């Protein structure tokens, strides 16, 4: 029996400070659904995962941002953690990588602080979404309609607030990634 995401290749963009469970749980769910998943990072080797404020595991990087070609991926996951998206926002190559998914209408799943990177990539204006509560003002100021819900889907953009939301987030992420391309954002 074919799995829902057979033939799909998904990028997970992360760097040091990533909230570990927000990377490992979506990766597990995607692989169980048959997707090929690649951890993409500005760093090569490995990145430092966190369990809230405490250091977690070293997570192997499978593709450096210098070598990653966004055209070779059908979808993108942006995990949270405070440090991770804040560092990615300062990386022009990371913003360009995310912008590819925004401009081509490929599905994106972002959890917790992950949507921060979408602001810099021009991917939130006019979108209904959620995040960790501290991003509410940033997202609204960038033109998003922010709501406090477990999981929000808006034309291929899946967002959630926190690790407790991971079961609903992973379920919606797989549905949206299966459906594929959506409308192009107003970029």
Can 53 be counted among the known catalytic residues?
Answer: no
Residue 67's contacts (CB-CB under 8 Å, 6 or more residues apart) are: none
Question: What is the token pair recorded at 13?
Answer: 């963009």
Tell me which of 52, 113, 182, 183 is the catalytic residue.
Answer: 113
How is 95-113 classified by DSSP, letter by letter? HHHHHHHHHHT--EEEETT
Contact 107, 178 (CB under 8 A): no
What whole-number distance in Å separates Cα of residue 143 and Cα of residue 166? 25
Give all strands of the β-sheet with 36-41 in edge-to-edge order: 63-64, 36-41, 9-13, 75-78, 108-111, 157-160, 151-154
From the list 4, 8, 150, 27, the residue with the least C-alpha distance to 78 is 27
What whole-number distance in Å separates Cα of residue 170 and Cα of residue 92? 28
**Residues with catalytic roles:** 113
């Amino acid at each position: 029996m074919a799995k829902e995401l057979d033939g799909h290749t998904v990028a997970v963009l992360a760097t040091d400070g990533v909230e570990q469970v927000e990377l490992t749980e979506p990766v597990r769910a995607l692989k169980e659904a048959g997707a090929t998943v690649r951890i993409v990072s500005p760093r090569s080797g490995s990145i430092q995962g966190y369990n809230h404020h405490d250091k977690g595991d070293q997570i192997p990087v499978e593709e450096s941002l210098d070598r990653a070609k966004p055209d070779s991926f059908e979808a993108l996951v942006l995990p949270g953690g405070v440090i991770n998206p804040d560092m990615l926002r300062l990386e022009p190559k990371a913003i360009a990588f995310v912008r590819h998914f925004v401009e081509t209408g490929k599905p994106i799943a972002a959890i917790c602080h992950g949507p921060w990177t979408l602001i810099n990539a021009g991917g939130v204006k006019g979108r209904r979404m959620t995040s960790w509560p501290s991003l509410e003002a940033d997202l609204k100021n960038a033109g998003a309609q922010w709501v406090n819900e477990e999981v929000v889907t808006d034309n291929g953009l899946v967002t959630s607030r926190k690790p407790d939301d991971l079961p609903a987030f992973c379920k919606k992420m797989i549905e949206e990634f299966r459906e594929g391309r959506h409308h192009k954002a107003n970029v």
